[in-house]
Chains A and B, each alone.
Chain A
Amino acid sequence: MDLELSYFLSEIVANRGMLLQGAWTTVSVSALAIASGTLLGMLIGLALAYASAPLRWPARLYVDLIRGTPVLVLVLATYYMSTPLGLPLTPFQAGAVALCLFCASHVAEIWRGALQALPIGQLEAGRAIGLTFPRICLYVLFPQAMRLAMPTWVTAAAEMVKASTLLSVIGVAELLLTSQQIISNNFLNLQFYFLAGAIYFAINFCIDMLGKYLSRHLEGAGKPRSPV
């Protein structure tokens, strides 16, 4: 047992470069997808909540279509269709695009729900003081909707990290594929899958903490600021 543990540890040390590289790929492709997908999703969600039919229907079609498609299909389609479409992507790029599209469809629904949960009086009060719609969004609706959307957004972001494992099928050397490659050399199946699981957990734990921090920051609400 002792021997196995020290062998495992020595293998971690020996493969630390690969592991870090894999974890970094997972983090960077997820971060890229979450950031771009969130921005895109907020635009689409805004269209779902407020746009007139010609803009709302394509948005609805997009959301329903992408949400109804398995992520794996999305990943494969993006990678293998990019070349015939005249825009060849590397596996990393294709993976980031696929996850971004997927993330956007989920964020769009979350964002629509949050915006529609706000009382109509907020929009009207913004209008009544003469604010234009973009400014009402920026100063009145978005800050409130962010608070409502934060918990579900954190869940969606964590889903993206988990979904990034699927990029291994198109050859993106993210954490899972890297772990598999290490295992094929040392046969420490249990240990290295466990290690990979622990690293995924750590990444998502960080996202969770970030979400909690942001929630608290946005909440900063409730209490009165120190009297001047």
Chain B
Amino acid sequence: MTVLIDIQDLHKSYDTLEVLKGVNLSVKVGEVVSIIGSSGSGKTTLLRCINLLEAFQGGRILVDGQPIGYRERDGKRVRDSERRIAKQRAMTGMVFQQFNLFPHLSALDNITLGLTKVRGLSRAEAVEQAEGWLERVGMLAHRHHRPSQLSGGQQQRVAIARAVAMKPKVMLFDEATSALDPERVAEVLDTIRGLAQDGMTMVLVTHEMRFAREVSDQVVFMNAGRIEEQGPPQRLFGSPASPRLRDFLARSGI
């Protein structure tokens, strides 16, 4: 399988606080990778670096073989132009903890906005594709509703449809179920599971250990800005090597 995301020696600091201290990770096409770890371990920051919502100071991220965010010019590391970065971001789909739907647009228009303005589809094509995705996530009946009229779970399903409709090469989920009522979690996890079964490449930051164990091909445990341990879920959850991971799993009730 070809490598889709290749993260090489990634370093990221906020002023003097180093939050990523040399992370190496590769994700192959069609793979589902879950990142677990306690708060402050850097897992969300790592995910946000992949679609350049965070700047990073050292290392490289390649998506589909192409370095993103920065380039070498005369031996110096310079940030890509905003236009270029926007194009790179379109290769990745992001689902946020707080959904971040556009509140002034209907569910349908939340999806068609990117389709018309980024992918350049006509309005009719965009509506057709958006309705297809809304049907896929079970939200077609609500296509004319505003986000404020939807439950958290419904909003998150629309947000997933919005991201996946852009035909990204990889989907990134940042604690997609953490802000939901417990009874709403399942419907969102079902939607994510469906995408995984379709062969979508995905990176998930999650606190849902059982879900991570079930859907992932690879699980990554982060601690203090580094990858402490990684491997297939059976091994990682079954026989964790590092004491920190054992500790973390015990506290997570696994």
Contact = CB atoms under 8 A, between A and B. Distances in A.
B218 to A, nearest CB: 23
B84 to A, nearest CB: 10
B149 interface: yes
Contacts of B96: 121, 124-125, 128
A227 B143 CA distance: 9
Interface stretch (B65-73, B110-118, B222-230, B236-244): B110-118
A127 B144 contact: no
A143 B89 CA distance: 23
Given A130-B118, A133-B82, A227-B144, A119 B163 contact: no
B118 A131 contact: yes
A140 B113 CA distance: 9
A144 B103 contact: yes
B146 A130 contact: no
Given A121-B96, A222-B148, A227-B144, A129 B104 contact: no
B104 A224 contact: no
Interface in B98-157: 98, 100-104, 106, 113-114, 117-118, 144-146, 148-149
Interface string A97-136: 0000000000000000000000101101101111111010
Contact of B146 (A119, A218, A221, A228): A221
A225 B144 contact: yes
B141 to A, nearest CB: 9
A131 B117 contact: yes
Interface string A206-228: 00000000000010011011111
Interface residues of A, number: 26
A139 interface: yes
A130 B114 contact: yes
Contact of B100 (A119, A218, A227): A119
A200 B89 CA distance: 52
B100 A130 contact: no
A180 B221 CA distance: 80
A128 B94 contact: yes
A156 B162 CA distance: 38
B104 A130 contact: no
B86 A132 contact: yes
Nearest to A120: B100
Contact of B104 (A132, A135, A144, A228): A144
30 contacts: A121-B98, A121-B100, A124-B94, A124-B96, A125-B96, A125-B100, A128-B53, A128-B93, A129-B93, A129-B113, A129-B114, A129-B163, A129-B166, A130-B89, A130-B90, A131-B86, A131-B114, A131-B117, A131-B118, A135-B117, A140-B113, A144-B104, A221-B103, A221-B104, A221-B146, A224-B106, A224-B145, A224-B146, A224-B149, A227-B144
Interface of A: 119, 121-122, 124-125, 127-133, 135, 139-140, 143-144, 147, 218, 221-222, 224-228
Interface of B: 51-53, 82-83, 86-87, 89-90, 92-94, 96, 98, 100-104, 106, 113-114, 117-118, 144-146, 148-149, 162-163, 166
